[in-house]
Amino acid sequence: LLIVILLLLQLVPILGLSPKLPRVNYFAYGSNLQPRILESRTLSRPGTLLPRPVILPNYKLCINLGTAASVETSPHSKVPGLIYKLPLPTFNILCLTEGYPLAYNLITVQTLDSNNNSISAYTFSSGRGLSDNKTTERYKNILVDGAKENGLGEEWISY
């Protein structure tokens, strides 16, 4: 029932019933660096999610949730990623598809844009610490392709 309600809420702006839904800043990393993956997970129309490159300071990208990525606190580290301004119903769908609260915790983080402006956002963290597992070649290619697609830089791509 909850999924049906969230899906119906997605139709509200499409039908022109309420163009001013509250929006949530979401910090994306991992496979959500690819807009088409995030669009499919949130049932969004292609091209409607416009990412903005940012850096998440004092966190590290870890493969500590099976073969999937997480961000974990790590002083002097940084994780390049993207900010998406998601309508609240879209963000709620994302929480469900990402496995919150079972697989991930929802945390508030402070990111920095290219002008060093601070942007508060929500993101997902497994909370499993800095341990690193091996990931699959397929997942690694998804991460690299997403980083290239969004101009996140060679430093991140070689990570």
Per-residue pLDDT at 15 exceeds 60: no
Give the Cα-Cα-Cα angle 73, 118, 139 (nearest 5 degrees): 50
Question: Residue 41's closest CA among 54, 57, 30?
Answer: 30
Residue-wise pLDDT tens digits, 128-145 = 888 777 888 998 899 899
Would residue 79 be called left, alpha or beta, if left means φ above 0 and alpha means ψ between -120 and 50 degrees? beta
State the average pLDDT for the chain: 86
Mean pLDDT of 23-37: 94
Please say whether the beta carbons of 151 and 53 come within 8 A: yes
Residue carrying structure tokens 């309600």: 5
Q: Measured between alpha carbons, how far is residue 152 from residues 114, 124, 142, 143 in Å?
A: 11, 19, 14, 11
Torsion of CA 64, 68, 70, 75, to 10 degrees: 60
Residue-wise pLDDT tens digits, 143-153 = 899 999 998 87
